[in-house]
Amino acid sequence: MLTAATPAEQHAAAERDPLRVLIVGAGIAGVTLAGLLRRQGLHPVLLERAEERSVHAGYMLALMPMVDPVLDELSAHERYRSASVPFDRYRIRSHTGRLLRDDSMGSVLARYGDYRGLDRASLIEVLSTGGVPVAFGTTVSALHEHEDGIRATITGDALEQELEFDVVVIADGMHSRTRALALRGRGVQTVDTGWGGWVAWAPADDDPGRGEELWGDGFFVGSYPVPGRIGVFVGGPNDETAAGPGAFVARIRAGLRHDAPRIDAALDAVATADEPYYWPMADCRAGTWRAGRAVLLGDAAAGFMPTAGIGAGMAMESAGVLAAALRGARPAEVPDRLAEYERRQRPRVESAQDNSRALARLMFRRGRLFAALRDAAARVVSVGVALGPIRRLLETAPAPLARTTPEGRPVSEEGRSRSR
């Protein structure tokens, strides 16, 4: 679990570490990295802008098997399985609600590992089991790199303080405010589809391992399994969803011609939800991931749309690669280790993001003719074919970085000194 601790308390615990690490953002990427570094014997300082009560805002996640090595490193795999459900089958319906395909997900991905569904709050609990200290309501207002390290100005609770670190990891999301402090004006590319939608929860039904989607003419309905309930997303063009969930759901129902109980339950969930969360379908991609001793992680580096169901998994995988890159590093080696992390992981993340963007171009469209042609293609394209790009990522998963110095010498557990 996440446990409240001030920046000063956390920094005092880290002061004698061979590498002093600051992580900005206690989302999936930041908490994963904090847990992995703590397994290495470090005491990373973790900050979170949100207040404690709002950190665990929930939505559904489907995690691909690229998360398995990280969960194993955290000794969290059994807790993960207990907190999640298998995502075994995928069903897709036409723009009028007719069933097009019902495919097995398990048979496609079984050789790589688990594909499971859970909510964000449960995943944070799994990743932080054993306790991960975090300073809530706290952020970074300035970064100053100098010869011996990087100084962060930390602000929160009407208190401002300056603390010294060897590396700063920026993991505070797609709309990161800290990213600009490190990149100093270097560009961040964004893709905005002009669509968005509401997230809600529907009651569990008698097929808890099934995900189901309807790609409509100017709308999208998706439902995804988590323990005890079904996560729902209903979306469309922003100019139409502006009418509100009730009116938009009524517009969708008017165009359906076939009985689809799961889709009907999803529409009910959004129409009756109390202030459902609205999720804009946009993403971002930073032109570079690092600047000196500061580095981007997770959505701050590449924020995903949920179209491929892979963003959270890639954030966890990236945290694993970064933790491996920092293992055994002396302060003077940090820039080289961060460069190696970016060299290894950025192409994988951007490849996954390209796939997500390609799916968005298929899903977020208006026009009856296009919807009919898309239905015809979905009728003959199996989920195994559709998952081809993700399967290639799983087949080329990154091996852990060797525990060596930049000169190729093994790093021993003993005798690591602070090199300035």
Say how many C-beta atoms besides its own lie within 10 A of residue 102's C-beta.
13
Counting beta carbons within 10 angstroms of the beta carbon of residue 343, is it exposed (0 to 12), middle (13 to 18) or buried (19 or more)?
A: exposed
* Residue-wise pLDDT tens digits, 323-377: 999 999 999 999 999 999 999 999 999 999 999 999 999 999 999 999 999 999 9
Residue 414 has pLDDT above 50, yes or no: no
Give Cα 108 distance to the centre of its chain.
22
Burial 261-295 (b: 16+ CB within 10 A, else e): ebbebbbbbbbebeebeebebbbbbbeebbbebbb
Output the pLDDT for position 412. 40
Percent of the chain exceeding pLDDT 70 equals 94
Question: In the chain, what are the domain boundaries?
Answer: 2-86+114-190+283-364
Predicted confidence band at 400 (pLDDT cuts at 50, 70, 90)?
low
* Residue-wise pLDDT tens digits, 303-338: 999 998 899 999 999 999 999 999 999 999 999 999
Mean pLDDT along residues 370-385: 93
**C-alpha separations of 192 from 159, 189, 196, 277 in Å:** 37, 10, 10, 18
Output the pLDDT for position 407. 41
* Residue-wise pLDDT tens digits, 154-178: 999 778 999 999 999 999 999 999 9
pTM for the predicted model, two decimal places = 0.92
Residue 413 has pLDDT above 80, yes or no: no
Cα radius of gyration rounded to whole Å, the chain: 22
Spatial separation of the C-alpha atoms in residues 129 and 132, rounded to whole Å: 8
Residue 420 has pLDDT above 60, yes or no: no
Output the pLDDT for position 30. 98
Over the chain, what is the mean pLDDT?
A: 91
Q: What is the CATH number of domain 2-86+114-190+283-364?
A: 3.50.50.60
